[in-house]
Amino acid sequence: MDDIKEVIAKLIENAIENSEINTQEIKEYIEIPKEESNGDYAFPCFKLAKVLRQAPNQIAENLKNNIITDGTVIDKIESVSGYLNFFVDKSQIVKSAIEKFDIQKKDYGKLDVGNGKRVLVEYSSPNIAKPFHIGHLKTTIIGNALYNIYKYCGYETISLNHLGDYGTQFAKLIEGYKRWGKEYDLSTNAIDKLSEIYKRINELCEEDENVLEECRQTFKKLEGGDEYCVKLWNEFKELSLKEFDKIYDLLNVKFDSYKGEAFYSDKMQEVIDILEKNGKLTESQGAKVVDLTDKGIKAPCIIQKSNGSSIYATRDLAAILYRARTYDFDKCIYVVGEEQNLHFKQVFEVAKYLDLDEKYTNGLEHVSYGMIFLPEGKMSTRKGNFVKVEDLLNESISKAKEIMQDRSLEDKEKIAKQVGIGAVIFEDLKESRIKNQIFDLNEALNFNGETGPYVQYMAVRTKSVLDKAGYVPNKDDVDFNVLTDDSSIKLMKLINNFDKIILNSMDKNEPSIITRYSVDVAKAYSIFYNNNKILSEDRESQNARLYLTYMTKITLENALKLLGIEVPEKM
Site residues, ligand ARG (CB under 6 A): 122, 125-127, 162, 164, 316, 334, 336
CB of 123 to ligand ARG, least distance (A): 9
CB of 367 to ligand ARG, least distance (A): 11
Taking the C-alpha atoms of residue 309 and residue 284, their distance in angstroms, rounded to an integer, is 15
Residue nearest to ligand ARG (CB): 164
Taking the C-alpha atoms of residue 106 and residue 42, their distance in angstroms, rounded to an integer, is 31
Nearer to ligand ARG, 109 or 164 (CB): 164
Nearer to ligand ARG, 122 or 175 (CB): 122
Of the residues 136, 237, 280, 553, only one is catalytic, namely: 136
Nearer to ligand ARG, 138 or 516 (CB): 138
Interhelix angle for 512-531 vs 539-563, to 10°?
A: 160
366 is catalytic: no
Q: What residues are paired with 437 via a beta bridge?
A: 372
Nearer to ligand ARG, 167 or 452 (CB): 167
CB of 396 to ligand ARG, least distance (A): 23
Torsion of CA 412, 413, 415, 418, to 10 degrees: 170
221 is catalytic: no
Interhelix angle for 209-223 vs 227-251, to 10°?
A: 80
Nearer to ligand ARG, 356 or 478 (CB): 356
CB atoms within 10 A of CB 295: 15
Of the residues 64, 130, 221, 343, only one is catalytic, namely: 130
Nearer to ligand ARG, 352 or 490 (CB): 352
CB of 245 to ligand ARG, least distance (A): 17
Burial grade of 109 (CB within 10 A; 0-12, 13-18, 19 or more)? buried
133 is catalytic: yes
In the three-class reduction of DSSP (H, G, I as helix; E, B as strand; rest coil), residue 265 is classed as: helix
In the three-class reduction of DSSP (H, G, I as helix; E, B as strand; rest coil), residue 216 is classed as: helix
Question: In this structure, which long-range contacts are made by residues 343-348, counting pairs with CB atoms below 8 Å and at least 24 apart in sequence?
Answer: 343/312, 343/313, 343/316, 344/368, 345/297, 346/290, 346/292, 346/297, 346/299, 346/301, 346/313, 347/301, 347/313, 347/316, 347/317, 347/320
CB of 122 to ligand ARG, least distance (A): 6
Q: Among positive and negative, which fits the CA dihedral 244, 245, 250, 256?
A: positive
CB of 384 to ligand ARG, least distance (A): 17
Spatial CA neighbour of 276 closest among 307, 243, 242, 314: 314
Nearer to ligand ARG, 125 or 549 (CB): 125
For 142-189, give the secondary structure using H, E and C: HHHHHHHHHHHCCCEEEEECCCECCCHHHHHHHHHHHHHHHHCCCCCC
CB of 430 to ligand ARG, least distance (A): 23
Spatial CA neighbour of 130 closest among 392, 384, 312, 372: 384
In the three-class reduction of DSSP (H, G, I as helix; E, B as strand; rest coil), residue 454 is classed as: helix
Query: Residue 540 is inside which H or E element, if any?
Result: helix 539-563
Taking the C-alpha atoms of residue 147 and residue 141, their distance in angstroms, rounded to an integer, is 10
CB of 317 to ligand ARG, least distance (A): 10
CB of 463 to ligand ARG, least distance (A): 39
Between the alpha carbon of residue 209 and those of residues 201, 214, 215, 216, 221, the distances in Å are 12, 9, 10, 11, 19
Nearer to ligand ARG, 125 or 512 (CB): 125
Question: In b/e form, how buried is each residue of 263-273, taking b as 16+ CB within 10 angstroms?
Answer: bbbeebeebbe
Nearer to ligand ARG, 149 or 364 (CB): 364
Asked if residue 433 lies in contact with residue 414, where contact means CB atoms within 8 angstroms, the answer is no
Spatial CA neighbour of 514 closest among 183, 256, 150: 150
Of the residues 47, 95, 133, 237, only one is catalytic, namely: 133
Helices marked H in 263-329? 268-277, 312-327
CB atoms within 10 A of CB 209: 9
Nearer to ligand ARG, 40 or 122 (CB): 122
Spatial CA neighbour of 5 closest among 52, 60, 42, 47: 42
Residue 63's contacts (CB-CB under 8 Å, 6 or more residues apart) are 12, 15, 16, 43, 45, 79, 84
CB of 229 to ligand ARG, least distance (A): 21
The residues carrying an active-site annotation are 130, 133, 136
